[in-house]
Structure 1
Amino acid sequence: MKSTHPLAALSLAAFLLGAGMPAAAGDGHDHGDAAPAAAGTALPRFAAVSETFELVGVLDGKQVTLYLDRFADNAPVRGAKIELEIAGAKFSAQAHGDDAYEVVLKEAPKPGVLPITATVTAGAEVDLLAGELDLHEAPHADEAVHEHSWKEYAGWAVGGLAALAVLVLGGRRLMAARQPQTGGAA
């Protein structure tokens, strides 16, 4: 008496394989549980810190946006005068909105590590801050990023099911060969 059927074994294998794979919602069918992925690359930054001030600079091409805060309470410093020296070239920062300052460079810096020195004057306080800007070459746009499609996952699932079917059928033949033959003429 045989208790396993090939169709039942394949159905069970398909169920187990399907239960182990995460479900993917189509466009407009997700529930917003996943956090949004960051798109693009982050802009290069540098930080310079002293006992009085924290200065963060963000480079976007030739434009450097500076954010100056007090070290003690992280409160923005408004109305300060910032003299910035980047790799030996000196610049004077201009106020940009309420909480930021801006410097426009003559040309975009080349890749490498650039020393940065900032002289900050805020009221009666004068401080010298130092940091480094580490620039790397931009990734090449012609290099494709490999993304997994549903067809790739489907191919792996079909291959897994085929391998499982071969194992089940091979196991059945092995079990059938081990069973003693009964009956016969006396």
Structure 2
Amino acid sequence: MKFLRIFCVAVALAVPPLTSHAHGGEDHGNAPAPAPVASAAPRAQAQSEDFELVAEVQGQGQALVLFLDRFDSNAPVVGAQVEVDGGGPPTMAAETAPGVYRVAAGPWTQPGRHALTVSVQAGDTADLLSATLDVPAAAAAAPAAPLAVGSPATTKRSLWALAGALALAALGGFTWLRRRTSTSS
């Protein structure tokens, strides 16, 4: 009977630390470093004394979106006339939000290296911005990732498996002790 008490105390002391986890903003260990995130959309940047421009292919090559800001204040350029020349006929961009201009798909959304010239007319200020847009060939879709080893789902499963194993061990120990004491009487 003494063995059973010692075993139950050992199990009771071992299980709570195994089932504890971080909560309330606490960190109970070193979390793995997040994987670096690569921009999925091809981008080009240009700047002048007056403007900063970021051009991004969006919608799987369906449009070129231009983000246009003032260089000195980083304020969005609103109401500008923006024209994009990328090897084909020049195309006017439509403003979709403050400082955001959109151009429908053109030769610059196809895979390859494209020299862009963006003409900006905002009030009394006019400028030409040049950038090179490198659009890679479409990559094959990656297969779904398996469940990560340190994920909460696998940790929870492991804890339930451990608790079940400990319960079976306790039951086996109890049965063994009971048979041992009944045969010795």
Name the TM tier (shorter chain).
Answer: 0.5 to 0.7
Q: How much has 1:147 moved relative to structure 2?
A: 3.1
> Quick one: distance in 2 between partners of 1:121 and 1:97?
17
Question: Per-residue displacement from partner, 1:33-64 (whole Å, max 9, x unpaired)?
Answer: xxxxxxxx854433221111012223222212
The CA distance in 1 between the partners of 2:162 and 2:137, in whole Å, is 42
Instruction: Check conservation: 1:62, 1:108, Cα contact below 8 A.
Output: no
* Cα separation, 2, equivalents of 1:42 and 1:22: 33
Structure 2 length-normalised TM: 0.58
- Is residue 2:2 matched to residue 1:6? no
How far off is 1:98 after superposition? 5.4
RMSD value, Cα: 3.6
Query: Which position in structure 2 is the counterpart of 1:55?
Result: 53
Match of 1:96 in 2: 95
| 1:17 and 2:15 correspond | no
Q: CA deviation at 1:104?
A: 1.1
Equivalent positions of 1:33-182 (< 5 A) are 43-60=41-58, 61-86=61-86, 88-97=87-96, 99=98, 100-106=100-106, 109-138=109-138, 140-141=140-141, 143-148=143-148, 152-157=154-159
Instruction: Work out whether residues 94 and 103 of structure 2, in 8 Å CA contact, stay in contact via their aligned partners in 1.
Output: no
Gaps of 5+ in 1: 24-40, 167-186
Report the Cα distance in structure 2 between the residues aligned to 1:10 and 1:144, rounded to whole angstroms: 39
Q: Which runs of 5+ in 2 are unaligned?
A: 24-38, 170-185
Alpha-carbon contact 2:79-2:95 (below 8 Å) kept: no
- 1:42 & 1:155 partners in 2: Cα distance? 34
Distance 2:112 2:69 in 1: 27
Shift, 1:79, TM fit: 3.5
Whole-angstrom distance in 1 between the partners of 2:137 and 2:161: 41
**Cross-structure match for 2:36:** none
Aligned with 1:152: secondary structure? helix
> Structure 1's 54 and 42: CA in aligned 2 closer, same or farther, altered over 3 A?
same
Alpha carbons 1:47, 1:131 under 8 Å: kept: yes
Q: Give identity over the alignment, percent.
A: 33
Does the 8 Å CA contact 1:116/1:130 hold for their aligned counterparts? yes
Q: Measure, in 2, the Cα distance between the counterparts of 1:105 and 1:153.
A: 47
Q: What is the deviation of 1:73?
A: 1.2
Residue 139 of structure 1: how far off its partner (Å): 5.2
TM-score, normalised via structure 1 length = 0.58
In 1, Cα distance between the equivalents of 2:81 and 2:129? 13
- Name the CA shift for 1:16/1:106 in 2 (closer, same or farther; >3 Å): same
Change over 3 Å in CA distance of 1:150–1:52 after alignment to 2: closer
- State the distance in 2 between where 1:120 and 1:146 align: 48
